[in-house]
Structure formats: structure tokens, C-alpha cells
Amino acid sequence: MPDKEAYPEPPTQTPAENKKTSLPNPALIAPVYYHQRFRRVPDLTDCEEGDYVCYYEAEMQWRRDFKVDQEIMGVIQDRMKACHQREGDSVTQNCAKEIKDFHDTTRAFLCRYGDLGAYGSGRKCLMKQKERMIYGKNL
């Protein structure tokens, strides 16, 4: 048996609780994850006729996708603005990649969500996509 005075116990990984305060010890609080992960649900085209739960889930999925696409647009726009700020007069030469990425992303975003208006929904977006496909066949 080892001698306790010669080999003291190592300190614990978390600090001891301080009973003098009513505040919780931050080292003992479980971590919180703020990013909620949703499973992908079927698109409106995959829903059976009259399946209103599927319609609702597809609509909520479309809204989440719309918010994600808005955030992606914001990030790419911020990158382009930072490059403009950093490069000054030589923007066209040194920020060509950022400008091209911004234009490509904007074109794709407007192609998908452009004319939906303030009350856009998954159903309207699907109809817009269908009309775009029909127009492309007629050309």
C-alpha cells in the first residue's frame, strides 16, 4: 500500500464547488449545443395526395433551406465586402474570385427564390421551378 504522505492524490479535474456563492459552477454545467440537427424530409413532389403532415414537413424543410441559403448569401456577400475594403482601388484584379462567387450565388438564389414575394412557400417555389422547366422545353 503506497504511503499517502509520500504520494498524495492528484487533484480532481473539476474544481471543488464553492459553497459561499449561490451561482452555479461553470465547470460542472453540461455543454449546450445551439445547432439543432433536423433530418431531411421528403420534398413536396414525394408527398402522397392528401397527406397534410407530409405537406407541413416539406414546407418547414423548405423554410429551413431558405434560411440556410440566405445565410450562405450573407457570408459570401461579407467576403466580397471584406475584399473590397482590403484591396481598395485594385478590386477588379484582386477580388475577381469573390466577385464571381457572389454573382454566381446571387444568380442561383434569384433563380430559385426570386419572384416568390413576401409570402413565398415551398409550393410556390415548386410551381416556379415547374414553370421554368416548361419554359426551357419550349425554347
30-88, pLDDT tens digit by residue? Answer: 776 677 777 888 888 899 999 999 999 999 999 999 999 999 999 999 999 999 998 88
Give per-residue pLDDT as tens, 14-26.
655 556 666 766 6
- Residues 95, 86: Cα–Cα separation, whole Å: 10
How many CB atoms within 10 Å of residue 122? 20
Does position 114 have pLDDT exceeding 70, yes or no? yes
Provide the pLDDT confidence category of residue 11 given band limits of 50, 70 and 90.
low
Residues 6+ apart with CB under 8 A from 87: 93, 94, 95
Provide the pLDDT confidence category of residue 139 given band limits of 50, 70 and 90.
low
Q: Which residue has the higher pLDDT, 93 or 26?
A: 93
Does position 1 have pLDDT exceeding 60, yes or no? no
- Residues 58, 122: Cα–Cα separation, whole Å: 7
What pLDDT score was predicted for residue 135?
Answer: 86
pTM value surpassing 0.85: no
Q: DSSP character for 95?
A: S
